[in-house]
Amino acid sequence: MRFMVIVKANKDSEAGVLPSEKVLAEMGKFNEELVKAGVMLAGEGLHASSKGARVKFSGQKRTVTDGPFAETKELIAGFWLWQVKSKEEAIEWLKRAPFDKTEVEIRQVFETEDFGPSDPTGELRKKEAALRKTVESRHR
């Protein structure tokens, strides 16, 4: 099972304040543990929303709003993508993360097999597998 681990933004991350050298070192050590255990597939911090944009879809209309965005509770400061056996395992790993005064969300990533009843012929799963193979081959 894959899980997206979403680190919520706060005033400091939105102001572009980078973590201290100590925090970066602790996070680096934690990331090394994740990699050694075969859990971490990807993980990155994100720039502040002031450097981002949102695109709102309404029928054929597309409205672009440049950041910053006012409500930090809804913003993401970073993420991991983990491969684990269960949500409980993901939670146990996350409990070990060197965070203080932040909120982190865990969400399971849909896999093609999750769409079984919506794909009775298996054609969608075949197309998805081909796309994944193409993407993986481009990043080697």
> How far is the C-alpha of 77 from the C-alpha of 136, rounded, in Å?
25
**Domains in the chain, ordered, with CATH?**
2-109 (3.30.70.1060), 112-140 (no CATH)
Name the band, by pLDDT with cuts 50, 70 and 90, for residue 97. Answer: very high
Check whether 28 has a pLDDT greater than 70: yes
Check whether 126 has a pLDDT greater than 90: no
> How far is the C-alpha of 8 from the C-alpha of 79, rounded, in Å?
9
**pLDDT for position 72:** 66
> How far is the C-alpha of 49 from the C-alpha of 19, rounded, in Å?
17
Stated pTM of the model:
0.82
Contacts of 78 (CB under 8 A, 6+ apart): 7, 43, 44, 45, 46
Check whether 102 has a pLDDT greater than 90: no
**Residues 64-93 pLDDT 10s:** 999 998 776 789 999 999 999 999 999 999
